[in-house]
Structure 1
Amino acid sequence: MKGVRGVRAVRTRGGLSLRLDVRALLACLLLLALALAAAIALIGSGDYPMTPAEVLSTLTGGGNPGQEFIVQDLRLPRVLVGLLAGAAFGISGAVFQAVSRNPLGSPDVLGFAQGSSVGALVVIVYFQGGTVAVAAGSVVGGVATGVAIFLLAWKRGIQGYRFVLVGIGASAMLYALVLYLLTKANIVEATRATIWMNGSLNGRDWDQVGPLAAVCAALLPLLLLHGRPLRMLEMGDDAAYALGVRVDRVRVVTLLAAVLLVASATAATGPIAFVALTAPQLARRLTRSPGPNLLPAALMGAVLLVAADWSAQRLFGADQLPVGVLTGVLGGGYLLWLLARERRVGRM
């Protein structure tokens, strides 16, 4: 067993050689522990506070009927949606940034949230659809936006800044369409649409957990299996081709999976800003490892979203501030810092 900068090479008896990044592994374990701690804290928050011991006892079947109702029916679905959606946003942001080779290549910046909002608003304004229909419209809008941006940005491959610029243009157009749809809505529909667009975990139940869990169970492993090709892709198409990566196939598969994850998470929570932008970069700074760091990014996204929801409740009272508002304020500051940093190092 040899170590170089925190990387261990492990050779098994059968001759199989494995690379183990110890720092990245420890970072994943730390983020997993933080996600579980934040989840327990969020379950214990609300009008009926519970200690961590009471939460754990109730989750393992030791609570009284009142506690079981509060945890199992009211708070646990909210936390699970937060964890799953945060993981979906985090890993999707890592994929977009790896494919575009640009730290600004995030679904937040590229218009996917606006595309999902347009799909949801069309269902609300013109069809008065219920929760399931609105979620379906959000998914369709997000996927259609992803396909359109990919096709418009394609020119013998994906170049990072062209991809970002096309996405920013699409975001502006879609936001204008959102405003137009709001003017066509009556007061009830406009209020409902505005609440959805704020992005929130309030009122989430098992109806949102099941579909989002199924999508994550199918697509998260698929993306994790493409971690090495994405790492090669960050070095450029020519280098990736030379290393045996099927560049176009990897790009299409990973982007499609990432778009579906973002659209599904947005359908469950509404658009929640900047988790997809910040989670991959914070994860990379924590692991100090090259490549997209897909698993750390997913865990970081889960931590950020659940911790932000807990903070919104603690600072402003239960259900007073949607989590999307808090992440938007904090993420906007991070985006300004990132833009200043990109300009300082000469990439803008």
Structure 2
Amino acid sequence: MSAPARERAERSTPQPEPVTGRRPLRVGPFSGVLRVRPLVVLVVSAVVLVLAASVNMGRGDYPIAITDVLATLFGGGDAGQQLVVLQLRLPRTLVGALVGGALAVSGAILQSIARNPLASPDIIGVQWGASAAAVFVIVLGGGASGVGGAFASLGIPLAALVGGLVSAALVYVLAWRRGIQGYRLVLIGIGIQAVLVAAVNWLLTVAQIYQAAQAQVWINGSLNARSWDEAIPLAIAMAVLVPVSLVLTHLLGGLRFDDDTARGLGIRVDAARSWLLLVSVGLASVATAAAGPISFVALVTPQIARRLCRVGSPPIAVSLVLGAALTVVADLIARTALGSVELPVGIVTAVLGAPYLLFLLSRARQEARA
């Protein structure tokens, strides 16, 4: 058999599919690769999110069964259930899910462009910049009563947003040396965070007792009393920033390599890092403005998603849903673990995330020795 005939025979013979969890996908003129395992993880995470949200909205002084919660969300239920679910509990749960998703995506982007699993908004100072600005407004506003309290209530979200953006811009400027290097970004971010933590502690020292208590609750991250006033602006911001991050996802794979390799792949490295960093900071800032600095979600979730999906860099879509589920579960624990005493959700995420941070540090030390 001649060589051309042999090649035609080999092409016509069905070849076994490789057992890699990847399947070719073609839709019209577009083609790609469908990764089965990340898709399964995404679906399972979405199911966990729906179940956790339903349980969270059903627990409280007026308990509602999960089936009734789901029926109410789809237009059923009596007047009392509609009031409790749609007006009182749904906004809080929705804010928790959106905040968790925003922080997880922000962390996934930062860890990818820095090539460092310890890079996250709560490590490089973005969330503490938001906290410092918010605590400043609380102290300046004079608490939650009177004219000063009204100023504080209106100014806290805006101040947190501006503070996060300003601290991120400061880190970016100081870290710029003919481009952005991941290790330099993390180190300078840790230094800026130390300064911001000191500023927050000083503000708490000079504040009145009630102002300090109010600020302490806020900087621990809390979803208490969240309403549609926080949910709607956060949802609008997410509707803009999340699609942008998904569009830019293709750049993250190339940025995993060194800069020369990434440029060889046709990526404008500095511009790509700048745009991705801007999206990451925007997500972290709006999330912090809505619920305070909920710690460890941005740090832990992308690494969990990466390990579950067995991919090289944190997947954006899976991190989004997994972060939302993690925050809603943490809020459920914060509301119900101690009976009538409600904890800030940031305390629960810190308890869950701190052991994982120790694991990452231990793993990095072992890899350095090897």
TM range (shorter): over 0.9
1:203-254 deviation digits (Å, cap 9, x = unpaired): 1000000110011000000001111111111112111111111211211111
**CA distance, structure 2, for counterparts of residue 15 and residue 143 of structure 1:** 40
Cα offsets for 1:277-296 (capped at 9, x unmatched): 00000000111122331111
Which amino acid in structure 2 is aligned with residue 35 of structure 1? L
| C-alpha separation in 2, matches of 1:154 and 1:182 | 32
TM-score (norm: length of structure 2)? 0.90
Task: State the distance in 2 between where 1:108 and 1:180 align.
Answer: 19
User: Quick check: 1:116–1:138 contact (8 Å CA) kept in 2?
Assistant: yes
Alignment match, 1:6: 21
| C-alpha distance in 1 between matches for 2:241 and 2:341 | 31
- The CA distance in 2 between the partners of 1:226 and 1:115, in whole Å, is 26
Contact 1:8-1:22 within 8 A present in 2 as well: yes
Q: Secondary structure at the match of 2:23?
A: strand
1:10 deviates by: 2.2
Measured in 2, the distance between the counterparts of 1:4 and 1:139 equals 46
Q: Answer with 144-153 or 120-129: which moved more.
A: 120-129
Query: When the two structures are aligned, how many residues end up with a matched partner?
Result: 347
1:24 aligned onto 2:38 = yes
For 1:206 and 1:146, the matched residues in 2 are separated by 28
Aligned counterpart in structure 1 of residue 345 of structure 2, from 323, 331, 338: 323
Match of 2:264 in 1: 242
Equivalent in the alignment of 2:298: 276
Q: Are residues 1:43 and 2:65 paired?
A: no
CA distance 1:347–1:11, shift in 2 (3 Å): farther
| Contact 2:220/2:344 (8 A) holds in 1 | yes
- Among 134, 149, 152, the alignment partner of 1:120 is 134
Q: Is the 8 A contact 2:336 2:342 kept in 1?
A: no
| Per-residue CA distance 1:273-324 (angstroms, 9 max, x = gap) | 0000000000001111223311111111101100111122231235521110
Are the structure 2 counterparts of residues 318 and 157 from structure 1 closer, same or farther at C-alpha, using a change threshold of 3 Å? farther
- CA deviations over 1:40-66 (Å, ceiling 9, x no partner): 111111111111111012112221111
TM-score (norm 1): 0.96
Aligned residue for 2:32, secondary structure, equals strand
Partner of 1:130 in structure 2?
152
1:82 equivalenced with 2:96 (yes/no): yes
- Contact (CA 8 Å) 1:227, 1:294: kept in 2 or not? yes
**Whole-angstrom CA distance in 2 between matches of 1:47 and 1:347:** 54
DSSP 3-state at the match of 1:203 = coil
Are the counterparts in 2 of residues 10 and 19 from structure 1 also a CA contact under 8 Å? yes
CA distance in 2, matches of 1:302, 1:347: 36
Q: Secondary structure at the match of 1:271?
A: coil
Whole-Å Cα distance in 1 between the matches of residues 139 and 30 of structure 2? 58
Q: Distance in 2 between matches of 1:131 and 1:300?
A: 30
Does 2:322 align with 1:300? yes
The residue aligned with 2:144 is none
Structure 2 residue matching 1:199: 3-state secondary structure: coil
Q: Partner of 2:173 in structure 1?
A: 151
**1:61 and 2:75 matched:** yes
CA deviation after TM superposition for structure 1 residue 347, in Å: 7.4
d(CA) in 2 for partners of 1:126, 1:92: 30
- Indicate the residue corresponding to 2:5 in structure 1: none
Residue deviations 1:141-195 (CA, integer Å, cap 9, x gap): 0000111111111212222222111111111110000011112222222121111
User: 1:338 is aligned with what amino acid?
Assistant: L
Q: What 5-or-longer segments of structure 2 have no aligned partner? A: 1-14, 142-147
Once residues 369 and 111 of structure 2 are traced to their aligned partners in structure 1, the CA distance between those partners, rounded to angstroms, is 15
8 Å CA contact retained: 2:180, 2:270: no
Q: Provide the aligned C-alpha RMSD in A.
A: 1.6
Cα contact 1:81–1:201 (8 A) shared by 2: yes
- What is the distance in 1 between the residues matched to 2:261 and 2:207? 51
Cα deviation, residue 3, structure 1: 4.5
Q: Does the Cα contact within 8 Å between 1:124 and 1:189 map onto a contact in 2?
A: yes
CA distance in structure 2 between the partners assigned to 1:261 and 1:219 by the alignment? 7
Report if aligned partners of 2:222, 2:346 keep a CA contact under 8 Å in 1: yes
CA contact (8 A) 1:93 1:280 kept: yes
Asked whether the equivalents of residues 123 and 134 of structure 1 are also in contact (C-alpha less than 8 Å), the reply is: yes
- Residues 21 and 37, structure 2, Cα contact 8 Å, conserved in 1: yes
Confirm or deny: 8 A CA contact 1:46 1:318 kept in the other structure. no
Letter in 1 for 2:128: Q
Residue 284 of structure 2 corresponds to: 262
Question: In the alignment, what sits opposite 2:222?
Answer: 200
Cα 1:347/1:56, change in 2 over 3 Å: farther
- Superposed, 1:160-199 pairs within 5 Å as 160-199=182-221
Q: What residue ranges of structure 1 are gaps of 5+ in the alignment?
A: none
User: 2:125 matched to 1:103?
Assistant: no
Aligned partner of 1:34 in structure 2 is 48
Change (3 A) 1:144 1:347: farther
118-127 vs 260-269, greater mean Cα deviation: 118-127
